[in-house]
Amino acid sequence: MNGWLDRWRQDHVLSRVVKNSGYLFTSNVISALLSILTANLLGVRVFGVLGIVISTVSNVNRLLSFRMGDVVVKYMGDHVARDEKQAAAAVVKASALTEGITSLLAYAVLAALAPLAARHLADDPSTLPLFLIYGLSILSNITTETATGVLQVGGHYRSQALVNLVQSVATAAIIVYAYFSQTGLITVLIAYLAGKMILGLAPIVLAIYWLPRMLGNDWIKAPMSLLPPRGEFIRFSLSTNFSSTINMIARDSEVLWVGYFFSPLEAGYFKTALAIINLVVMPITPFISTTYPEITRAVAKLKWARLRRLLGRVTMISSAWTGAVAVGLLLFGRPVLFQNWDILGRTMHIYRPEFLPAFPVLMILLVGFGFANILFWNRPLLLALGRAGVPLRVGFWGMVIKVALAFLLLPAAGYLTEAWLLSGYFVFTVGLIIWQGFRTLQKAEAAAPQPAV
């Protein structure tokens, strides 16, 4: 037993991933708990409207996002690993320019679509200003994906954690004020907008600070001719955009789908269940951004044994956490989360009993999210191996099947059916991506000699 623990302690790659993930996890706790306070302040229906506004703005932004953070981690990371600083700088410049243009376009698209969203999703045309106000978060995130990719390549996770902590505290302060002053939805929306603006602008400032130290003071002068082959670079960027769009439609728009097929009330149940799910996956979520650069480094240096060891150990960690939480929610979730308690003559609760219909949604979603949580590295592995098109194709066909079934079955089958469709989507797509990932890894190992670990 001690030998097993010693080997894990001596695994410097795993230690770096766990430490960096810890920085991000610690700073995310406040944000997750704020959802509970907000839900109890607004009530189920208005909480659903809040979810519809935030999801609409986020999804319009994703629609025109090329996930330039993935591009930066892949190409800048490769060049930094080979000490090609000017080529790495060219990647950063091209990524920032692309992201800046698409962010401006995204806000224009949001302004055009907001009246339709207010009328058909929120069921209330008077909510139109809420979409436009929260849409300012798109402009504050004008090159944030690029900046975040730079910070990930440089290993500056402590800085990211500090940014997350500052935005969490700022958001919390405004929401607590709204809770005690009972000022309602508009104040809560401003709280989330303030947090998004901090999350958007601070990484840009940090990246500007770190880039000269990482790539030299003349990084801004790097010629664009040092970019990877134009076709390859564009294909990778487009594939990450299409992948983001597929995820947006298939898995990140549940509140909008439920609002469209049913009402903001059912959307409120889904937003509540998803908020609890976020607490479940929160300790593992930082592993995605911290593991990806390590996977990329291992692939770039042909360190196959190191890569397999890393994947095995992070999977054991994610399995242990996910399994323990799933059992706890199954046994104790209903009474702990959705019932009133009498403590010293005072009625206490986490979520008011009116949120109880969210519990069966939570249990169904736990199946799919749990599976994806355990195998969270499925897509980063294929990206690092240069197979960005595989997750795209798998996700596309999974999306087509899920959306077709939604229009076929909803709303006659009830809103719980949407939860089953989402869980099924996760199991189907993640399973296929993992299978393809290991096939590609085996071929790569066979094609290249393995150097010493």
Does 381 map to a domain? yes
In this prediction, residue 344 carries a pLDDT of 66
| Geometric angle at alpha carbon 56, from 65 and 165, rounded to 5° | 75
Does 229 map to a domain? yes
Does 453 map to a domain? no
Domain containing 289 equals 2-447
Q: To the nearest 10°, report the CA torsion of 385, 388, 391, 396.
A: -170
Total number of domains constituting the chain = 1
In this prediction, residue 10 carries a pLDDT of 55
Residue 185 contacts by C-beta under 8 Å, 6 or more apart in sequence?
Answer: 42, 46, 49, 50, 130
Does 154 map to a domain? yes
In this prediction, residue 453 carries a pLDDT of 47
The sign of the CA dihedral 228, 234, 239, 245 is positive
| Geometric angle at alpha carbon 32, from 147 and 291, rounded to 5° | 45
CA nearest neighbour of 258 among 245, 271, 247: 271
For 144, the token pair is 């944030």
- Per residue of the chain (453 residues), what is the pLDDT tens digit? 555 555 555 555 555 555 555 555 555 566 667 888 899 889 999 999 999 999 999 999 988 877 788 889 889 988 998 899 999 999 999 999 999 999 999 999 999 999 999 999 999 999 999 999 999 999 999 999 999 999 989 988 778 778 887 888 898 899 989 988 888 899 999 999 999 999 999 999 999 999 999 999 999 999 999 988 888 777 777 777 777 788 888 988 999 999 999 999 999 999 999 988 877 777 666 666 677 788 888 888 888 888 888 888 888 988 988 898 889 989 988 988 888 777 766 777 888 889 999 999 999 999 999 999 899 889 889 888 888 788 889 999 999 999 999 999 988 888 999 999 999 999 999 999 999 999 999 988 888 665 544
3-state secondary structure of 89: helix
For 110, the token pair is 């949001």
Beta strands in 292-356 (DSSP E): 341-343, 346-348
In this prediction, residue 15 carries a pLDDT of 58
Asked whether the bond before 411 is cis by omega within 30 degrees of 0, the reply is: yes
The sign of the CA dihedral 69, 73, 79, 84 is positive
Does 452 map to a domain? no
Is 164 within 8 Å of 195 (Cβ atoms)?
A: no
Instruction: Look at the block and give the residue holding tokens 């810890």.
Output: 22
Does 187 map to a domain? yes
Q: If 0-12 CB within 10 Å is exposed, 13-18 middle and 19+ buried, where does residue 224 land?
A: exposed
